[in-house]
């Protein structure tokens, strides 16, 4: 079967959606599928060793898109990252050509929550996309609940979580030495890095040896660096920018815990399952899909969002209690293996492909 995956960006750099597409493409090719990726925007650089995929930059010209689909002749189109016009246009044209369309919704927030006009405009392609899909996959119950109002009742809704490479992200055989707290992700407002920095100011009053590593980039990076400086965190906080998969995996293994301080809009939390697969406990905000990924006091700790005090208390508790850290570490790894390993998740997605393909082949 020939699958066309749709991504907004390429290369598939750091970011939950891109990470998922890259992992899915690798597993599909391993299982004998022919995979290509259509994308709209190209990033200038990538620190990720992407698989040797057929990746194709396309325009939004509908005539060119129609020619593109006819030339590629996919058996199925699977769209991701749906708050832009490329996925709905591809699915709409594919629908006219009787090519089944699948959508994976990673979030119900297009990123303009502070601007109602731009928010509504961003929802327009999403509504079109969902009207042309046969199946909508949500990565969590939280996303499915939010998307239910946008989905046509004829569209089948299923929940399939994101996945993690449990071989790449695995526990270290040695105990971490220095107390390292880790953040991985984009440096944007809703990710709550400012909350983390204020919390870490409280942490170092109790744990003077603790260090915070921030891996990622984003438009608010200068602000967060200035904030760290104003909080007198020089020597305690290190901004590493985007890092390679290998460096990221090593950070997870070295860290005593990973913090996911998102304020809102977290559809799932791939960073959380990468950390869990690495046997590193997670302290996460009790929002969105994170509440489903992290079992409070079992595989990690959940805290009230936007509260430096609560976040600091949870971080300090883990830094000071090796028994708690070990228990959460073991449980986190077990949950990652049981629920988020790629073999299981890819098999569920392939089943959806097969059903959608059979359905499209039936006489109408």
% of the chain at pLDDT higher than 90? 65
Q: Quickly tell me which residue has 């005593």 as its tokens.
A: 256
Q: Are 164 and 326 in contact (CB under 8 A)?
A: no
Whole-number pLDDT of residue 82? 59
- For residue 47, the model assigns a pLDDT of 44
Contact of 80 with 105, CB cutoff 8 Å? no
Answer yes or no: is pLDDT of 109 > 70.
no
Which stretch, 46-55, 106-115, 126-135, 324-333, has highest mean pLDDT?
324-333
Query: Domain locations in the chain?
Result: 2-163+341-361, 180-339
Whether the per-residue pLDDT at 64 is higher than 60: the answer is yes
Rounded Cα–Cα distance for residues 289 and 268 (Å): 4
Q: Which of 72, 110, 121 has its CA nearest to residue 93?
A: 72
Q: How confident is the model at residue 115 (pLDDT cuts 50, 70, 90)?
A: low
Q: Which fold has domain 2-163+341-361?
A: Rossmann fold (3.40.50)
Q: Mean pLDDT throughout 31-60?
A: 71
The H or E element that residue 213 is part of is strand 211-215
With 80 as the cut, is the pLDDT of residue 74 above it?
Answer: yes
Given a cut of 60, whether residue 50 has pLDDT beyond it is no
160 pLDDT higher than 90: yes
| Per-residue pLDDT tens over the stretch 187-236 | 999 999 999 999 999 999 999 999 999 999 999 999 999 999 999 999 99
Q: What would the CATH number be for the domain defined by 180-339?
A: 3.40.50.2000
Q: Phi first, then psi: what are they for 222, rounded to 5°? A: -60, -40
More confident residue, 325 or 20: 325
What's the rounded mean pLDDT across residues 97-113?
77
Sign, CA dihedral 171-338-138-95, equals positive
**Confidence grade of residue 46 (pLDDT, cut at 50, 70, 90):** very low
Helix (H, G, I), strand (E, B) or coil at 202: helix
Average pLDDT of the segment spanning 117-129: 62
CA–CA distance from 111 to each of 28, 115, 190, 286 (Å)? Answer: 30, 9, 9, 19
Q: Which of 65 and 331 is assigned the larger pLDDT?
A: 331
Question: Is 98 exposed, middle or buried (CB count within 10 Å of its CB: 0-12, 13-18, 19+)?
Answer: exposed
* pLDDT attached to residue 343: 94
Q: Is the pTM of this model over 0.75?
A: yes
For residue 364, pLDDT beyond 70: no
**So what's the pLDDT on residue 112?**
47
The reply to whether domains 2-163+341-361 and 180-339 share a CATH topology is yes
**pLDDT band at 54, cuts 50/70/90?**
confident
Query: Which of 105-109, 154-158, 292-296, 319-323 has the weakest average pLDDT?
Result: 105-109
Per-residue confidence (pLDDT) for residue 124, from 0 to 100: 67
The β-bridge partners of 323 are: none
Condensed to tens digits (0 to 9), the pLDDT of residues 227-286 reads: 999 999 999 999 999 998 899 999 999 999 999 999 988 889 999 999 999 999 999 999
Rounded mean pLDDT, 169-189: 90
Question: Per-residue confidence at 180, pLDDT binned at 50, 70, 90?
Answer: very high
Average pLDDT, the chain: 88
């Amino acid at each position: 079967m020939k699958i066309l995956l749709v991504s907004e960006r390429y290369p598939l750099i750091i970011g939950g959606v891109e990470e998922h597409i890259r992992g899915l493409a690798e597993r599909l090719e391993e299982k004998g599928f022919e995979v290509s990726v259509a994308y709209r925007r190209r990033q200038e650089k990538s620190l990720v060793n992407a698989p040797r995929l057929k990746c194709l930059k396309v325009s939004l010209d509908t005539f060119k898109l129609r020619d593109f689909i006819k030339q590629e002749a996919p058996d199925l189109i699977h769209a991701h990252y749906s708050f832009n016009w490329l996925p709905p246009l591809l699915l709409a044209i594919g629908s006219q050509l009787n090519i089944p369309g699948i959508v994976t919704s990673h979030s119900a927030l297009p990123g303009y929550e502070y601007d109602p006009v731009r928010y509504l405009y961003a929802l327009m392609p999403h509504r079109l996309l969902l009207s042309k899909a046969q199946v909508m996959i949500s990565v969590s119950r939280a996303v499915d609940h939010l998307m239910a109002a946008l989905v046509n009742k004829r569209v089948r809704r299923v929940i399939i979580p994101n996945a993690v490479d449990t071989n790449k992200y695995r526990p270290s055989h040695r105990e971490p030495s220095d107390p390292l707290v880790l953040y991985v992700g984009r440096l944007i407002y809703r990710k709550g890095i400012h909350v983390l920095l204020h919390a870490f100011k409280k942490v170092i009053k109790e744990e003077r040896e603790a260090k915070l590593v921030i891996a990622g980039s984003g438009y608010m990076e200068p602000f967060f660096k200035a904030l760290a400086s104003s909080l007198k965190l020089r020597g305690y906080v290190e901004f590493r920018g985007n890092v390679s998969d290998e460096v990221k995996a090593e950070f997870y293994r070295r860290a005593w815990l990973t913090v996911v301080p998102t304020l809102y809009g977290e559809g799932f939390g791939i960073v959380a399952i990468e950390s869990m697969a690495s046997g590193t406990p997670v302290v996460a905000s009790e929002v969105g899909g994170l509440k489903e990924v992290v079992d409070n006091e079992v595989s990690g700790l959940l805290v009230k969002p936007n509260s430096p005090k609560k976040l600091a208390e949870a971080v300090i508790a883990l830094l000071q209690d090796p028994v708690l850290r070990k228990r959460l570490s073991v449980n986190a790894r077990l949950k990652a293996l049981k629920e988020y390993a790629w073999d299981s998740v890819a098999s569920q997605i392939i089943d959806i492909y097969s059903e959608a393909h059979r359905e499209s082949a039936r006489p109408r």
